[in-house]
Chain A
Amino acid sequence: MRVALFVTCLADLMRPNVAFAALKLLKLAGCTVEVPETQTCCGQPAYNSGDRATALTLARKVIDEFSGYEYVVLPSGSCAGMIRAHYEELCKDDPALLVKAKKLAASTYELTDFLVNVAKLESVPGDFAGSITYHDSCSGLRELGIKQQPRQLLGKMGQVEIKEMSEAETCCGFGGTFSLKFGDISSKLADNKCENACATGADAIVGGDLGCLLNIEGRLRRKGDRKTQVLHVAEVLAGKLD
């Protein structure tokens, strides 16, 4: 399988290890992975802010860069959701582009969804010893149906115990630019999330979207919790990176 990895701009800037972990997992699943060099961003921030023109410019770029692959995989439900659930609407006024957008949407997957349902990864190398609680990020959950996939993969790591938090499906308050525009509301929602997560007593909060994870970690640390780890699911599954 020839797979293009869309790193996502947050992983590129904030946590490159997430992308390396995704790369490792895709290779283990038997994929030939390429990382198109000119990739930047899927355009979601502009799209969600109502700047359609900017979003369309970036969507065209993504469609050009990623159309030649069998599959496109992203370690983010939110960015994968942008391509799969929103590019069609964004490109609706350009018939030629729309055809390509639909085709790209059909070949685009969130990482855990791809590993479970397409690549059918059998075993994972992760060796996280301890308990984790999983935060279901909104776009992945409600746009792509990502719920069991990460849990299934984590379950392949023998020693990990998953402790489900209450309201695992409730938003952590990130919401992209919402977290900046309405910082106090965003922090309050992050607080609720942290409380629910910590109530499980898990050693790590794990999720599939860096935005949420930065938000949750930021709130945890501000509240003085230096102990609970906040990890991307790819990092946990991939184990040690070389």
Chain B
Amino acid sequence: MEIHSNDFKARAREALADQELQKALKLVQVKFVPNRAAAAAEYGDFEALRDAGRDIRNRALENLDLWLERFEQEATRRGAQVHWAKDAAEANAIIVDIAHKNGVKKVVKSKSMVSEECGLNDALEAAGVTPIETDLGEYILQINDHEPPSHIVAPVIHKTREQITELFHAKHHKPRQTDIGALCREAREILRPHFLSADMGISGANFLVAETGSTVIVTNEGNGRLCTTVPRIHVALTGIEKVVPTLEDLSVLLRLLPRSATGQAITNYVSMNTGVAGSGDSDGPEQFHIVLLDNGRSRVLGSELKEMLRCIRCGACMNHCPVYQAVGGHAYGWVYPGPMGSVLTPSYAGMEHAHELPHTATGCGQCSAVCPVRIPLPELMRKEREMQVDAGLRPWTERLALKLWGWSASQPWLYGLGTAIAARFLKGLGGEEKLIHRLPLAGGWTDGRDFPAPAGKTFRELYRAKKELH
């Protein structure tokens, strides 16, 4: 997928001015946040569950090579074919090759963020294969001129019902439906024949189970089950980090994921696919291909950001992020928005393409407070900032300002003088109403806010004067 993360500022500004978007984004706060809180409270000791989730993911990552080898061995034993892709291009090539070898013309897809990461749909289309997105949200985006998703769980969270009504009317050439149930049925009736006629289904995988060689997908709509049940070929594309050791470990993560994502105790369907259809089976694919994507993950594993690989893609970090709530997912300019995206995008797509993202958070810590696997997201964003400073990627003005300020703060006498001057200068700017409406070099602040002026003398001045008095 094309990356626009360095345009974050401009995209965020557009988002803030977009009234329809602002109306749609309200639902993040109104629905996801309280639903997650209620689900965590209803469960009981959710904190212990989060600890267990963290430990399970760490255990998988500590011996990632061994768990992947075990996974491959079991999957292969059951008749699946495991492919390894070092990057997005290789993943696309593998899948296009499977399609070509099998004369595949049409593919039904269930939602996969890894396929977005790879730009798989474009690769399929370029190779003469038609991909059809079947998750309702992804379908809406696909017929809207291949718009990218703005959320990893709820891809059309940025759209209002009215917009979808108009889109369906325009693309389906049917009467306008304003009822959500009717819109859903319209999409169902258009997509059902595609499921029955497609030659290949492509899914992601929320988890890979090393013990059994299974892929697991977590869905509500049933399109994931259809994609993996009806067509004669199933391709599951996922990241190498998704492996978990055992079915017991899977059970714990399946308690955490839906509660953190949507507040559900379980999603409607949890589908575990193991190997190919048996000789007597009336359904299930004859070929099962599992494509394991690296695309930067093995590098992250050896970096200070490795805790990010625990991520189970629930979206809670973005749902609870005040910045995401304000600007939505498109501002972030790539596949993964919000705090997890601010860590992942520079790692997967290159820091030079996403140098703004580690700065797009206030550091409020709400994301890590809800993360089901306790990823210290603000800390990881801070580490990325360190990487930028070390690599000389920050603007010289910022670097100089920090150095100057740090140097003066190490010289108490100089610092005291500087702040005494600043206090007077700022007081002067504030005038009678004690408010600064425009502050040189701080337009970022004063464009939207006044700056309350200080009293005119610093504490250290006043305190010293008082002490001398006594």
Direct contact of A and B (CB under 8 A): yes
A-chain residues with CB within 8 Å of residue B363 when the two chains form the complex: 48, 138-139, 175-176, 178
Asked if B459 lies at the interface with its beta carbon under 8 angstroms from chain A, I say yes
What is the CB-to-nearest-CB distance from B65 to chain A, in angstroms, rounded to a whole number? 28
Query: Are B444 and A58 in touch, CB under 8 angstroms?
Result: no
Specify which chain A residues have a CB less than 8 angstroms from the CB of B384 in the assembled complex.
50
How long is the Cα–Cα vector from A61 to B455 in the complex, in angstroms? 27
Which of these, B362, B399, B422, B443, contacts A175 with CB under 8 Å? B362
Kindly state the separation between the CA atoms of A54 and B409 in the bound complex, as whole angstroms. Answer: 10
What are 12 A-B interface contacts by the 8 Å CB criterion? A9-B409, A16-B459, A17-B455, A45-B402, A48-B382, A50-B382, A57-B406, A138-B362, A180-B442, A183-B443, A187-B448, A219-B450
Residues of B that sit less than 8 Å from A by CB: 9, 12-13, 16, 322-323, 326-327, 359-366, 368-369, 379, 382, 384-390, 394, 398-399, 402-403, 405-406, 409-410, 412, 415, 419, 422-423, 435, 437, 442-445, 447-452, 454-455, 457-460, 462-464
Cα A169 to Cα B37 in complex, Å, equals: 14
A14 contacts B454, C-beta separation under 8 Å: yes
| Chain A residue with Cβ nearest B388 | A50
> Could you tell me if B406 and A12 are in contact, using CB atoms closer than 8 angstroms?
no
B457 touches A188 (CB 8 A): no
Which among A24-32, A33-41, A155-163 touches the partner chain? A33-41
What separation, in Å, do the CA atoms of A51 and B462 have in the docked complex?
32
**Given the known A-B contacts A40-B409, A171-B362, A171-B364, are A185 and B323 also in contact in the complex, defined by CB atoms under 8 Å?**
yes
Q: Are A189 and B322 closer than 8 Å at their CB atoms? A: yes
Q: Residues of B contacting A208 with CB < 8 Å?
A: none
Q: Closest CB of chain B to A146's CB: distance in Å? A: 13
- A residues 138-180 touching B (CB-CB < 8 Å): 138-139, 142-143, 169-171, 173-180
The 4 closest A-B pairs by CB, nearest first: A175-B362, A187-B448, A50-B385, A183-B444
Query: Which of the four size classes fits the interface of chain A?
Result: 35 or more
Are B448 and A186 within 8 A (Cβ)?
yes
Q: Which residues of B contact A38 (CB under 8 A)?
A: 412
Q: Encode contact with B along A45-80: 1 for CB under 8 Å, 0 otherwise.
A: 111111110110110010000000000000000000
Q: With CB as the reference atom, state the residue of chain A lying closest to B8.
A: A182
Q: Are A50 and B389 in contact (CB under 8 A)?
A: yes
Cβ–Cβ contact B463 & A184, under 8 A: no
Q: Beyond A54-B402, A215-B449, is A16–B457 a contact (Cβ under 8 Å)? A: yes
Q: Indicate if the CB atoms of A184 and B12 lie closer than 8 Å.
A: yes
Asked whether, in the complex, the Cβ of B386 is within 8 Å of the Cβ of A139, the reply is: no
Q: What's the minimum C-beta distance from B116 to chain A, rounded to whole angstroms?
A: 25
Q: How far is the CA of A215 from the CA of B364 in the complex (A)?
A: 14
CB-contact partner of A50 in B386, B406, B459, under 8 A? B386
